[in-house]
Structure 1
């Protein structure tokens, strides 16, 4: 996505007055209007859960919600830059782009660890119990530290440049095609090629193993985790496929394919923001799985009177 947002760092910005830009701005505005209050409500719900001693799974969900909210709160800036000039200076261009990348990598790590953590907690509870609170804190802190480090290249590549339309834009600047391809390969590998097999493996193992569980609420929370993972990939796979198309087009020098992929970047980029907007509705659909536990019970294993 190159329309000033910074997740797809390889495509060109559309003319601000074009129907495509107006449509993209409208979609992003809708994501802001629905996603910001939705994610705030989710964070409130999850924080209440954690105060009552909820499990580690809601903590990961809370990190995912914070990541989504970080992205959505910046949308008015990007929408304005789509319709007008980038008037916020180089420093904000770099900082805000870095925040978007940071939230992107943290979302990917949260979703990946959700699958791994849920598998271990449900099917190997004793191993998970050995981690204790310090291990849980280390996982959450590690997600944010690692995602921050993985996002550092955006601080170097982001520039304020004048586009063909004569307007200022906050976009990635590449010295040559090699840098562009290298960046795309890095993002596709870290954000898709590496975590996707991990997610598929633990999803299959979890799906097979959870059916043997005797606890209804274990099923409910597991189903919620699976919905979050599947929703994430539903909205992100088109983006990564488009990036792969861009890589191929640059490597073989196919101008028409390159133009096609660059035109598709705005569409696939918008889908990634829709994912941040949709997550609260996924939580709402499974709200019963997040109901506060009764005092003195294990929230994941004892309340079997309702839900689904």
Structure 2
């Protein structure tokens, strides 16, 4: 049975700021659309409430805002609890793509430099630019994937040391799968993120003790998909089908990936069952958006 697959067309996600065993401050934060040159967003740093209302904090840091400057005043990172993220804060939209992040950063105290997250879809999935890592010796990219942090990504490592009290102009350009990182207009990183294949539809085929064919289809996208189903060994020696031309379908479908049935609340989705005909050793089935479908095809007796 053939499902549908797509090649990734680029990285996307929020941006962020952070540190590792370092106190620092960040200002002049701006996110610009690479295609139009328009400013996508500038965080509101006019007050403590505005700052904390827009940012997501994944750390034990001491975060504050003063004079439109973000300050992280702790020089200690709990590396046991936050060993993958460091002392970090995230801002923006996880659907952002093809953007440029610019900001000013200054180290106030501590052992290293700055962490600049990008392509953030969550604390367990993101990239970050480590500036002054490894005891203030290198610049490199690292990736957090499914909660696991990579080492220094090959091809991105460069000598780098951050001076206390000095301001640095930082820039991260995310274009499709390419990432460029600059310090004071000097290019430090030019990296092509390897493409990945993401499947829009998943399938499992099995039989039970009765000999019935059980097909499970999962569509994780917002679009319906036509899936071609090929069942090997479904034809008898005389050319007839070993399978019934009818099948029973059990299906749960929603209109959003956030649909959830909560005890005591109105159900977002319900299980439906119905019969389809036209089943053979080769047929096409349309899988609805955000759905789980089980098709049971009986064997001819």
What range describes the TM-score normalised by the shorter chain of this pair? Answer: under 0.3
Higher relative helix content? 1
Higher relative contact order (CA 8 A, sep 6+): 1
Higher relative strand content? 2
Greater Rg by CA: 2
TM-score (norm 2): 0.27
TM-score (norm 1): 0.27
